[in-house]
Amino acid sequence: MSSESIEMAKNRAYKLIKEANDDLEAGRIDEAGWYQRGMAVITPAYLAGDNPRSQSGHSGDEKHWRHARSLVAEAMDRDGDFLDVGCASGHLMECVQLWAGERGVQIEPYGLDIAPELAALARRRLPQWAERIWVGNAIDWVLPRHFDYVRTGLEYVPPRRQPELVRRLLDLAVAPGGRLFLGTQSEEIARTRTQPSHEEVIASWGFRIAGSLHRPHYQDERLEYQLCWIEAGR
């Protein structure tokens, strides 16, 4: 079993996020500073990656990437279009299309990233989808249309704005009958967890979790990969 702290095992950027959250709550930075601090570290790290996985923040090989991320495609129950919020290099966009296609589900992917440099990278990598990859912050971006599936991470906005992000995407981004995916993220397994689960936190904000998928972590037996979703209008 790993001796690494559970929070660091769940998210390698834990210290960065905690420091930014603490400084925001203490008034040492404003929200613009919160986003700038994250981008100042994450953007150059992703751009320095030598493959599309590392350029999307993943340190493992293709087998590990699929194990961790393919829950998104497995949660798609019909053909449709898919917006990946925080798309970085665009690798999840192309992989979700491939993985869903293996199950007979046809997906048209779109992407959004707050960092112009990462959106530009995705456009260079995926020129056939260049017009579908936008720059913006999901908390205030003017969405051009609705999508059958939208995926986001809650960590893309400060904790106090996370319920607002979920509500905004459900109201403005997800098509009627569509699904808002939250994750995937690493979460401590239920038998040792002492804090509310990801799903319980979201439910405490007044949202109904329509479904979830779980998978053992690739490397750390204390963790599992988890994806949950909310259906538009629920």
Backbone angles phi, psi at 103, to 5 degrees: -100, 5
Per residue in 60-69, pLDDT tens?
999 999 999 9
Q: What is the pLDDT of residues 90-148, one digit of tens each?
A: 999 999 999 999 999 999 999 999 999 999 999 999 999 999 999 999 999 998 899 99
Return all residues near 32 (Cβ < 8 A) that are at least 6 apart. none
Quote the CA–CA distance of 102 and 96 in Å, as a whole number.
Answer: 10
Residue 84 contacts residue 96 (beta carbons within 8 Å): yes
CA 190 to chain centre: 22
Two structure tokens written together for 162: 């996370």
Cα–Cα distance, 20 to 158 (Å, whole number): 9
Eight-class DSSP state of 157: S
Whether the pLDDT of residue 2 is over 80: the answer is: no
- In the numeric block, the tokens 């279009």 are attached to 81
**Tell me, which fold does domain 6-231 have in CATH?**
Rossmann fold (3.40.50)
Task: Express each pLDDT in 150-192 by its tens digit.
Answer: 999 999 999 999 999 999 999 999 999 999 999 999 999 999 9
Q: Nearest-CA neighbor of 67 among 170, 172, 182, 220?
A: 220
Phi-psi region of 126 (alpha: psi -120 to 50; beta: other; left: phi over 0): beta
Give the chain's radius of gyration (CA, Å).
17
How far is Cα 216 from Cα 187, in angstroms, rounded to an integer?
10
Q: Where are the domains of the chain?
A: 6-231
Question: pTM for the whole thing?
Answer: 0.94
CA dist., res. 162 & res. 167, Å (int): 9
Question: What is the per-residue burial (b if ≥16 Cβ within 10 Å, else e) of 23-54?
Answer: ebeeeebeeeebbebbbeebbeebbebeebbb
Peptide bond preceding 184 in cis form (omega within 30 of 0): yes
